[in-house]
Structure 1
């Protein structure tokens, strides 16, 4: 479900590797055009009046405390806490509770744009043709429909194509049958290589948006279909698909409390910083695919010999490589594969451990972001912040029985 009218990312915020001519030899790491870390996240400090007090609290808690003096329309909550120090400890939880309450009174249907296009694929369709359809329409996933039972059959994603690649790599004798392989056989592929089954989770469009968010976190799905029932036939009907990005952007645009989340990335422990899987420009693409399958990840940072970030290889890059059935190109190196990206590729987004969560939400509000690469002043990799990390923090942090 492609968006229309999305603002383009700010120029200083992206890293773009120089395009390499097809078939060229790469003697060493590709020089990348990279801005200083997190320059795109630096926002002007909001001028807020903080009541003077003899009790000392840190600057971040002071800003959040002042933000709570502004009442949220629709909630009419008045915070009356005598102790400023106690209030400072509660501000973050109060802001997160406000976001959760917003999600509980909004439905999944509210997230959908006024106009959108939905492409649904029949399970009898050939895998090769389904790949062509995705590429022609500029999408990376689509709901599946079983016409024999008239039921929703799951969600086709880039992970499924990676599973197909992994299968034919393990069983090369079956490669000559790939042109006859149908989407209905994806479950057999999953069983053969021992990976998670096709995503079949869905929610009703009139259910609370909070429920869709919890389902995403529970199943680790990056997107979730909205499935309704036809009043006349009683059969299932796929309405749309909402992604983690669309959910977070909806929150960023409509919930003013996100502007008051002043804690830094390091303070709240947002992201993954240990056991990061990486590769270089000279790493074979197939090795990167093995990493993605083994660790159930959708991207791998590409580093130079000094640990500096040059680029990120994403699951969607695999689709561009195998289009037209060019499975033999999977033996090429990462640098060659990334050089074939479209000229309008937006680049990758970075931040530092000192950047604040409200700045990240501001970036999500303005640009299409799938992840943030955490780097230091030398552009060296420190960690990765996924959209799941952000959604999990907003939804579950501090919640009872999380």
Structure 2
């Protein structure tokens, strides 16, 4: 069986050249009926497989679960997230009521920074973060007008298909898996199913079906793309200080202040922003976790740095920006996610790598577990004999 091999597509902050490498391209932009049917059949086979497997099946051989008490101070919780190896989220536990209380993520820290920006000074923030507790975060979100994350959960014996649907319907990136203690009746946090873990499970166990997903990402509508060419002329009166030629994608440059990007994270509910030059060439990516790393010492003044200055403080083990082209196939993309452990891909065009779009794991998962295929109105019973059933 032929498998896709991920190219070397990492970008360092000072990268000026790209290495050309072979990648699996999608076939004709106008797929024939045979290709289309094989594509849809493969999708239905993957969905059927997920319906026959439980969340337990996606558990790694060895893992740990860090649960944080809601009475814990935010600063200590942040230290837990940044421990080795670092994690980007943790379940919350209400010890007074012995029950699950949601998730603590880097987005909570972004909202906290935003809150102090509007209500206090950096000095006040540095002092308050020593005492503010996790249980206060939801009230802070309400004061910012940020939607409270849904208190979702699922049982470990639920099918992976239902778990995936839950993630899509709630726009969540992770799904806590809870059981009940048979003696006490109290809830037990068993694990957390993430989008990445689910897609990796699909990549490993449905490799045969994935090999039939030859159609291009752009053709399938996976991801968010620039609505107009960055080089297209701007009508008189159209351009303003808020004009974004890469709409609807939020972008920044190396001279953009970190705090401006923090605003984007909080107000738009995103977790990464492509960093481009004056020609729209992608030079890096700034993520929410970069902000957390920047302020872990309590130096909130660091938020006044430019993106370029902040990137110089980034850990040397940063894996780089993973890019793809809109003509790449869905099958190639799924393999790339598994091999590079990526959570988003920047779509570029041209030899220099001009920004064209961005693809998140949510985009990929939403397409894979959707109800229909290309050109179909309802999901039909898959004929597995045509594409094989060895998973």
TM > 0.5 fold call = yes
Structure 2: distance between partners of 1:148 and 1:207: 28
Residue aligned with 1:136, SS: coil
Structure 1: distance between partners of 2:335 and 2:287: 24
Structure 2: distance between partners of 1:266 and 1:59: 9
Matched, 1:387 2:349: no
What's the TM-score once normalised by structure 2's chain length? 0.83
* Structure 1 unmatched ranges of 5 or more: 1-8, 19-30, 46-56, 63-84
Matched, 1:35 2:19: yes
Structure 2: distance between partners of 1:144 and 1:169: 25
CA contact under 8 A between 1:144 and 1:155: conserved in structure 2? yes
Matched, 1:292 2:288: no
Structure 2: distance between partners of 1:376 and 1:286: 29
Tell me by how many angstroms 1:92 deviates: 2.1
Structure 2: distance between partners of 1:44 and 1:169: 46
Structure 2: distance between partners of 1:128 and 1:386: 29
Residue aligned with 2:91, SS: strand
- Report the structure, 1 or 2, having the larger helix content: 1
Partner residue of 1:121 out of 51, 64, 68: 68
Residue aligned with 1:114, SS: coil
Structure 2: distance between partners of 1:193 and 1:35: 44
Structure 2: distance between partners of 1:59 and 1:307: 26
Aligned to 2:372: 398
C-alpha distance 44-308 of structure 1, shift in aligned 2 (>3 A): closer
Structure 1: distance between partners of 2:280 and 2:29: 33
* Structure 2 unmatched ranges of 5 or more: 227-247, 380-391
Tell me by how many angstroms 1:112 deviates: 0.6
1:156-235 matches, cutoff 5 A: 156-172=104-120, 175=125, 176-235=127-186
Partner residue of 1:154 out of 94, 102, 109: 102
C-alpha distance 209-197 of structure 1, shift in aligned 2 (>3 A): same
C-alpha distance 385-199 of structure 1, shift in aligned 2 (>3 A): same
Structure 2: distance between partners of 1:270 and 1:334: 28
C-alpha distance 296-251 of structure 1, shift in aligned 2 (>3 A): same
Structure 2: distance between partners of 1:324 and 1:215: 36
Give the aligned length.
Answer: 345
Structure 1: distance between partners of 2:313 and 2:378: 47
Partner residue of 1:251 out of 202, 206, 209: 202
Tell me by how many angstroms 1:88 deviates: 4.4
Query: Which runs of 4 or more aligned residues in structure 1 lie more than 3 Å from their structure 2 counterparts after TM superposition?
Result: 31-36, 57-62, 399-402
C-alpha distance 354-128 of structure 1, shift in aligned 2 (>3 A): same
Tell me by how many angstroms 1:361 deviates: 1.4
1:76-87 matches, cutoff 5 A: 85=33, 87=34
C-alpha distance 277-354 of structure 1, shift in aligned 2 (>3 A): same
Partner residue of 2:42 out of 86, 90, 95: 95
Residue aligned with 2:280, SS: coil
CA contact under 8 A between 1:60 and 1:262: conserved in structure 2? no
Matched, 1:360 2:333: yes
Aligned to 1:263: 215
